[in-house]
Amino acid sequence: GESVGLHLPTLSVQEGDNSIINCAYSNSASDYFIWYKQESGKGPQFIIDIRSNMDKRQGQRVTVLLNKTVKHLSLQIAATQPGDSAVYFCAENNRNYGGSQGNLIFGKGTKLSVKP
């Protein structure tokens, strides 16, 4: 059958504005979450992570918020720059998959476009 490409949510922001990218995760038992950035032709690049015993974690220009009640994760990028244009993925660690680590389960991604 014909394969259908993922319809990626798209977020378009003006350079200098703040960006908020949202993600709903699936497993209430997941205890570790990561945001990755993937530019065209490259592998995912680690941005920031957060454990389930935290609600918020800040990095350089980025903040991750975790709401375990509604299983929601968000990535905030301050003063968005053209170089931030990429697809952003959230990932959760599924410890139920066996072993001490399990594997990462990725969201479908959000495409961020920054207008100069």
Partner 1 sequence: KAGVTQTPRYLIKTRGQQVTLSCSPISGHRSVSWYQQTPGQGLQFLFEYFSETQRNKGNFPGRFSGRQFSNSRSEMNVSTLELGDSALYLCASSWLDRQETQYFGPGTRLLVL
Residues that bind partner 1 (CB under 8 A): 3-6, 32, 34, 36, 41-46, 49, 89, 91, 93, 97-109
Local structure of 25: helix, strand or coil? coil
Q: How far is the CB of 79 from partner 1 (least distance, A)?
A: 25
CB neighbours of residue 104 within 10 Å: 18
d(CA 107, CA 77): 18
**Closer CB to partner 1, residue 17 or residue 39?**
39
Q: How far is the CB of 6 from partner 1 (least distance, A)?
A: 6
d(CA 20, CA 2): 33
**Closer CB to partner 1, residue 15 or residue 32?**
32
